[in-house]
Chains A and B, each alone.
Chain A
Amino acid sequence: MKLLTHNLLSSHVPGLRPGGGFPLKIELGHPSELPPEPLPDYEANEEFLRRLHHVLLEVEVLEGSLQCPDSGRRFPISRGVPNMLLTEEEA
């Protein structure tokens, strides 16, 4: 699963407040090579864009889990595919 996909994912557990299912927390220890905040001139900065492209589209999460910030529900990731299936009580 690419990080760009993680940016789009939101938890669909019913009963959350609007906007409450995002962002899902990725649980694995992964150091980021990006500065914590975008630099003011980011569109022109080629080096930053390159690193951003690498992190978003070339880094894949293979094993780990995603945690919903509001309900705490964990979605495991295996072989790069997150398992978002809900149990019958949840759906």
Chain B
Amino acid sequence: CGSGLSGDYISEEGHYWIGMDISPAMLDVAVEREVEGDLLLADVGHGIPFRPGMFDGCISISAVQWLCNADKKSHSPPKRLYRFFSTLYTALARGSRAVLQLYPENSEQLELITAQAMKAGFTGGMVVDYPNSAKAKKFFLCLFVGTSGTLPKGLGTECASEELQQAKFTNERTRFRNVKGKSVKKSRDWILEKKERRRRQGKEVRPDTKYTGRKRRPHF
């Protein structure tokens, strides 16, 4: 829940919400902001403390990955994850949806989290926005209780699939670049690029002519 930013959107839609956070400081900020929902100081790894079937939805932004950290010696991340998901499953009513945005450190973490969620009885899957961008890439774990709904499409996936399906045919002669996208060393292209770089650095460079990078006689 943090400072209750998502909660404001929920309140705007006219829904009643309860926020949970392990940090008293964050909840203090939420109290200052006079959020409409109720707040609980709780550790979700201990369980979601509600009666069965009380809620119709769950939103989490950048919280679930913290359950993978073992902050104390007695913590076991898989157990904490399972405790969280199983109690969340209980607290949600039939037909509810939970969307958890998270930042997994690596694919093992992602698998661990998804496995515990499925073990707890959820259906659903992972939706990734902008999968090809390093910065904009966002993971959303979308979980359904009971009915298996359709997963929403991740943003940025349409553009990627279009490029893959089309092969370009042009009449131009294309200069070959090697796999990394850099020109082969010592070729004419490389020489021209290097001269351009030095010009940008403000150094004195000879002008480019038809003789630049020309093949010389072998005795050079």
Would A9 and B41 be within 8 Å (CB), given that A4-B16, A81-B27, A85-B22 are in contact? no
Q: Is the CB of A85 within 8 A of B42?
A: yes
User: Which positions in A face B, CB cutoff 8 Å?
Assistant: 1-2, 4-5, 8-12, 14, 21-22, 79-86, 88, 91
Q: Is the CB of B50 within 8 A of A86?
A: no
Residues of A within 8 A of B43 (CB): 85-86, 91
Chain B 63-107, CB-CB to A under 8 Å as 1, else 0, gives 000000000101000000000000100000000000000000000
| Distance in angstroms between the alpha carbons of A41 and B50 in the assembled complex | 29
Besides A11-B49, A85-B43, 4 other A-B contacts (C-beta < 8 A) = A5-B18, A80-B39, A81-B41, A88-B74
- What 3 pairs across the A-B complex have the smallest Cβ distances? A12-B49, A12-B47, A84-B42
Q: Is the CB of B38 within 8 A of A21?
A: no
User: Chain A: interface secondary structure?
Assistant: loop
Who on chain A is nearest to B18 by CB?
A: A5
User: Which positions in B face A, CB cutoff 8 Å?
Assistant: 16, 18, 22, 24, 27, 31, 38-43, 45-51, 54-55, 72, 74, 87
Who on chain B is nearest to A10 by CB?
A: B51
Residues of B within 8 A of A88 (CB): 72, 74
Q: Is the CB of A21 within 8 A of B46?
A: no
Residues of A within 8 A of B38 (CB): 1-2, 4-5, 80
Residues of A within 8 A of B74 (CB): 88, 91
Residues of A within 8 A of B45 (CB): 91
Distance in angstroms from A47 CB to nearest chain B CB is 23
| Distance in angstroms between the alpha carbons of A91 and B49 in the assembled complex | 12
Who on chain A is nearest to B87 by CB?
A: A12
Q: Which of B24, B55, B72 has most A Cβ within 10 Å?
A: B24
Distance in angstroms from B14 CB to nearest chain A CB is 13
Q: Is the CB of A8 within 8 A of B18?
A: yes
Residues of A within 8 A of B40 (CB): 81-82, 84
Q: Is the CB of A12 within 8 A of B48?
A: yes
Q: Is the CB of B72 within 8 A of A84?
A: no
Residues of A within 8 A of B27 (CB): 81
Q: Is the CB of A91 within 8 A of B51?
A: no
Distance in angstroms from A83 CB to nearest chain B CB is 5
Q: Is the CB of B46 within 8 A of A12?
A: yes
| Distance in angstroms between the alpha carbons of A88 and B18 in the assembled complex | 24
| Distance in angstroms between the alpha carbons of A16 and B42 in the assembled complex | 18
| Distance in angstroms between the alpha carbons of A89 and B63 in the assembled complex | 24
| Distance in angstroms between the alpha carbons of A4 and B49 in the assembled complex | 14
Residues of A within 8 A of B50 (CB): 8-10
Distance in angstroms from A70 CB to nearest chain B CB is 13
| Distance in angstroms between the alpha carbons of A68 and B74 in the assembled complex | 24
Residues of A within 8 A of B47 (CB): 12, 14
Can you list 16 pairs linking A and B with CB atoms under 8 Å apart?
A1-B38, A5-B38, A8-B51, A10-B50, A12-B47, A12-B48, A80-B31, A80-B38, A81-B27, A81-B31, A81-B41, A82-B40, A84-B41, A85-B22, A88-B74, A91-B74
